[in-house]
Amino acid sequence: MPVQRLATAPQPVPLGRETLPARRGQWARALTHLASLVPLALLIWDGAQGQLTVNPIQEITQRTGKTALALLVLSLACTPANRVLGLRVALLLRRPLGLYAFLYASLHLLTFFVLDYGLDVELIWGAVAEKRYVLAGLGAFVLLVPLALTSTRGWMRRLGRRWKPLHRLVYLAASLAVLHYVWLVKADIREPLLYGAAVAVLLGLRLPPVRRALASLRLALSAS
């Protein structure tokens, strides 16, 4: 009976005006949670085994910093993945990826302030004032705080039209994080530049002329 079939069919997950089969979305979300927690689990495991190199604080700072940046870039890639590649499932992953990026950035910051600088306000202030890479990192983190706090559906509703422009700040946060990385490496800047290129491409894909060109390309491809 059609009515019964409707009742047992997986319910679509609302995505604004779009919908997605619930099961595919759930699997993708579960995998995202799992994959995002792996670096933290490895960090805890290696710490418990005493395998965090001879400089554990530096190792924790580096691992948490790199994971935060990688997840931030992945969260930025979700909207273009939907628009350019038609991967609607990516829209469901944007928020968890962004929140995990914030989690790792918080751990990164705590490692620096608590473990490295022993919460010594004078020392920390000195580092912020003297080291431009610390200032850039702090700027990136400060921008991420309101984005993480307002990422819930409730805040989306409350902020209405202002939510989108606020959340565009994520591009500035990612750019500052890349600058932070470029400024702190001493010799080989290939990796930070790679992250920089990724952020630039993802930002470029949001520009209206590029979006229009891609939309007409997709239309032409689907018509042929």
- Give the position of tokens 């894909």: 205
In order of 88, 197, 198, 211, the CA distances from 214 in angstroms are 16, 19, 18, 5
If one asks whether residue 72 binds ligand HEM (CB under 6 A), the answer comes out as yes
If one asks whether residue 134 binds ligand HEM (CB under 6 A), the answer comes out as yes
Please tell me the distance from the alpha carbon of residue 45 to that of residue 52, in angstroms, as a whole number.
9
The two tokens of residue 119 are 């919460």
Least CB distance to ligand HEM at residue 113 (A): 7
Residue closer to ligand HEM, measured from CB, 117 or 163: 117
Least CB distance to ligand HEM at residue 181 (A): 4
If one asks whether residue 68 binds ligand HEM (CB under 6 A), the answer comes out as yes
Q: Which of 86, 69, 80, 75 is nearest to 18 (CA)?
A: 86
Q: Mask: binding to ligand HEM, 92-111, rule CB under 6 A, as x and -?
A: -------------x--xx--
The interface with ligand HEM within residues 175-204 (CB under 6 A) comprises 177, 180-181, 184
If one asks whether residue 73 binds ligand HEM (CB under 6 A), the answer comes out as no
- Count Cβ atoms below 10 Å from residue 199 Cβ, excluding itself: 22
Q: Among 8-16, 45-53, 65-73, 85-93, which window interacts with ligand HEM (CB under 6 A)? A: 65-73
Of the residues 26, 62, 79, 150, which one makes contact with ligand HEM according to CB under 6 A: 62
Beta-bridge mates of residue 18: 15
Least CB distance to ligand HEM at residue 104 (A): 7
In order of 16, 95, 96, 142, 148, the CA distances from 153 in angstroms are 11, 11, 13, 21, 12
Please report, as ranges, the residues that interact with ligand HEM according to CB under 6 A: 58, 61-62, 65-66, 68-69, 72, 105, 108-109, 112, 134, 137-138, 140-141, 177, 180-181, 184
